[in-house]
Amino acid sequence: QSVFQSLFITAEKPRLGLIMTVAAGLTNMVLDALFIAVFKWGLVGAALASGLSQCIGGILPLIYFLSSKNDTPLKFVKTKMEGKVLLKACANGASELMTTVSSSLVSMLYNFQLMRLAGQNGIAAYGAVMYVEFAFIAVFIGYSIGTAPIVSYHYGSENHNEVKNMLQKSFKIMSILGITMMVLAQILASPLAKVFVGYDKQLFDMTVHGFRLFSFYFILAGINIYASSFFTALNNGMISAIISFSRTLGFETLAVIILPIFLQLDGVWLAITVAEICAFVISISFLIAKKEKYHYA
């Protein structure tokens, strides 16, 4: 499903890619209700629903690209094994690998710190914050993934002005979105927290306070995510991985360990913002250092 999203964008069919994603999500929702609420299959039902929904997102696009009605430039053809190309592609995608692995490791560290400082309420508050955070951050990720093939195309075609144009416009968009999301998070913290933890006043107050501190990271998150994706699109997986690794594992790990020593529970909520500030310095430094090489100055 993930691979086909990039292929739909490259094939100039982003709307069809969105339809497939929505179809997979709706399948998951419907099957969750059917398997858990109706058939009473519990955790097994939830797992089965998730697996089948991913099949929808993976198999339907496969059928589309195999179909004779596929009117896009992308076709399945017989090819030989190109190990070097595949290896280079894997290396170029190392940043996305590091983001996923790092997120899991950092989440465990957050849970440890929150359990130590706030007990089970801390874990529950973090869970609620993460549900909302994922919806917000998905906008940044979606934009970065969606524009990466455009950057790659123009870079490969040596349309340097278009690469520069994409970079400048994307930074403006990410900056505006980041500030907007931070403001929305401040305003919506209370009603959103009520949806998840409104049943407990103490937990509710902790979640609202935590989310408002946590939300400052939205201001720079989009820029850092785009910078990492931008270098991936330029076929520089190393720099992309460094940016991704530093923001999700390096700086955030250090921040979530060190800040609670001085700020207690608030230090946990602010750790990700401190990490994004440090990663922002790294992102800007690489963008300045490589502007001549990639001609987007």
Half-sphere CA count of 59, side-chain side, radius 13 A: 7
pLDDT reported for residue 248 = 84
Spacing of C-alpha 14 from chain mean position: 18
Residue 108 and residue 8 share a domain: no
Residue 155 and residue 240 share a domain: yes
Residue 174 and residue 94 share a domain: yes
Residue 106 and residue 49 share a domain: no
pLDDT reported for residue 145 = 87
Spacing of C-alpha 185 from chain mean position: 18
pLDDT reported for residue 94 = 75
**Considering its fold, how many domains does the chain have in total?**
2
Domain region containing 177: 82-294
Domain boundary among 74, 92, 122: 74
- Single-letter code of the amino acid located at 117: L
pLDDT reported for residue 244 = 87
The span from the CA of 237 to the CA of 122, in Å, is 36
Residue 204 and residue 105 share a domain: yes
pLDDT reported for residue 291 = 94
Per-residue pLDDT in tens (0 to 9) along the chain, 297 residues: 888 988 998 888 989 999 999 999 999 999 999 999 899 999 999 999 999 999 999 999 999 999 888 888 888 888 899 999 898 888 877 777 777 788 889 999 999 999 999 999 999 999 999 989 988 999 999 899 889 989 999 999 999 999 999 999 999 999 999 999 999 999 999 999 999 899 999 999 999 999 999 999 999 999 999 999 999 999 998 899 899 888 888 999 999 999 999 999 999 999 999 999 999 999 999 999 999 999 997
Domain boundary among 29, 58, 74: 74
Domain boundary among 23, 40, 74: 74
pLDDT reported for residue 177 = 97
